[in-house]
Amino acid sequence: MILRAVFAGLLCLGVTVALGWAVLERPAPVENLPERVAAAMPESGVEHPITAVLLNFRSYDTLLEIAVLLLAVVVALALREAQPDRPEQMGLDNPLLRAVMAWLLPLMLVVAGFLLWAGAHQPGGAFQAGSVLAAAGVLLRLAGVTADWLDNAVLVRAGLALGLLTFLGIGMLVMLPGVPFLTYPAAHAGTLILVIELTLTLSIGLTLLSLFRLNPPYADDPDDARAQEAPKP
C-alpha cells in the first residue's frame, strides 16, 4: 500500500514536472482559429460563436458526444434488465417540500427553456438546458413525486432517442442537394439548429435523469414513507 502511494507520488511528480516544462516551452501558434470562427460566423445561422462551433462547424463531434451519453443509458438499461430491482426508492414525501417544488419546478422549466433559446445569441444551449431539465426531474424524484409516464419504457426510450435521431436525420436530409453530411443551407441553418437543439434538450434531460433513475435503488425504507410527519412519542 505504501509502496503504491510512493510509486504514485513519484509518477505524478514526474508527470507534473513534465507538464510544467511543456507549458513553459510552448511555442506561439501560427494558426488563428478564433479568427476563422469569427469570419465564418455570418454563415453559421447563429450569433453565438460557441453554439456555432458546437452545432455547425464541429457538429459531428456533438453528434458523437450525444451518442456517448445515450450509450451510458443503454448500459444502465441492460444492467437493470439483467438484475431486476425492487421498487424504486423515491425521495422525501414532505408537504412543505412539495409546496416549494411546485413553485421551483415551473421556474426551472422556464429557465431551461430560456437557456435553450439563449443559445442562439448568448451563452446557453442544448446541453445546459438539458442539464437544468434533468435537475428538475431529479428534484421531482427526490421530493417523492411520481410521474407515471417515466415508467412507460417505450415512451422513455422514444424520448431518449428523439434528439439523436433528429440530429442524424437532419444531417442526412441536408445532403440531398449533393453536399457533405451536416451541411446546413445557410438560409435555414438557424431554424435547423434550433430544431436540433430543442430535441437535443429534451433527450439530454431525459438521458441524465435516466442515469440517475437507473442506478439500482434500494427498497423503500418503511419508516420513511409512512411516518413522515407523525408525532414522536
Partner 1 sequence: MPWLDLLLGFTLCVTAGLALIARDMFRAVIMFIVFGLLMAVAWVRLQAPDIALAEAAIGAGLTGVLLLDTLGYLRRPFGSRVDNPEDRS
Partner 2 sequence: MSGAISGYLVFAWSGVLLFGLGLFGFIAHRHIVRRLLAFNIMGSGVFLVLVGLAQDGRGVDPVPHAMVITGIVVAVASTALALVVFRRWYRASGRTDLPEDT
Partner 3 sequence: MTEQRHAVDRASRVGVYLLRLGILLAVWWIVSGSHSDWWFGLPLAMVAAALSLWLAPPARFLLRPHQIPQFAGFFLWQSLLAGWDVAKRTLNPALPLQPEILRLPMALPPGAPTWWLMLTITLLPGTLSVRLNQQHVLEVHCLDARLDVAGSVRDTEAHLARLFGVQLGPTEAGPRQ
Q: Mind giving me the DSSP string for 114-147? A: HHHHHTTTSS--HHHHHHHHHHHHHHHHHTT---
Position 231 contacts partner 3 (CB under 8 A): yes
Which residue in 117, 107, 161 sits closest to 139, CA to CA?
Answer: 107
In this structure, what C-alpha cell is assigned to residue 218? Answer: 434500494
Q: How far is the CB of 134 from partner 2 (least distance, A)?
A: 10
Backbone φ/ψ region at 124: left (φ over 0), alpha (ψ -120 to 50), beta: left
Of residues 20 and 106, the one with the C-beta less far from partner 3: 106
Query: Which stretch, 55-63, 91-99, 150-158, 208-216, contacts partner 3 (CB under 8 A)?
Result: 91-99
* Per-position b or e across 91-115, b if 16+ CB within 10 A of its CB: eebeeebeeebeeebeebeebbeeb
Residue ranges in the chain assigned as alpha helix (H): 2-24, 33-44, 49-52, 59-82, 95-118, 126-142, 153-173, 189-213, 222-225
For residue 28, state whether it binds partner 2 (rule: CB under 8 A): yes
**Size, binding site for partner 3 by CB under 8 A:** 23
**Among residue numbers 134 through 193, which ones bind partner 1 (CB under 8 A)?**
134-135, 138, 142
Q: How many residues does the chain have?
A: 233
The owner of cell 440517475 is: 212
Question: Which of these ranges, 41-49, 80-88, 113-121, 171-179, lies near partner 3 under the rule CB under 8 A?
Answer: 113-121
φ, ψ of residue 23 in degrees (nearest 5): -65, -40
Q: Is 60 in the site for partner 2 (CB under 8 A)?
A: no
Q: Is residue 124 involved in binding partner 1 (CB under 8 A)?
A: yes
| Residue 232 within binding range of partner 2, rule CB under 8 A | no
Site track 133-152 with partner 3 (rule: CB under 8 A), x = hit: ------------x-------
101 binds, among partner 2, partner 1, partner 3, none (CB under 5 to 8 A by kind): partner 3
CB of 26 to partner 3, least distance (A): 39
Which spans of this chain sit near partner 2 (rule: CB under 8 A)? 4-5, 7-9, 11-13, 15-16, 19-20, 23-24, 26, 28-29, 32-34, 37, 49-50, 52-54, 58, 61-62, 65-66, 68-69, 71-72, 75-76, 79, 83, 125, 127, 208, 211-212, 214-216
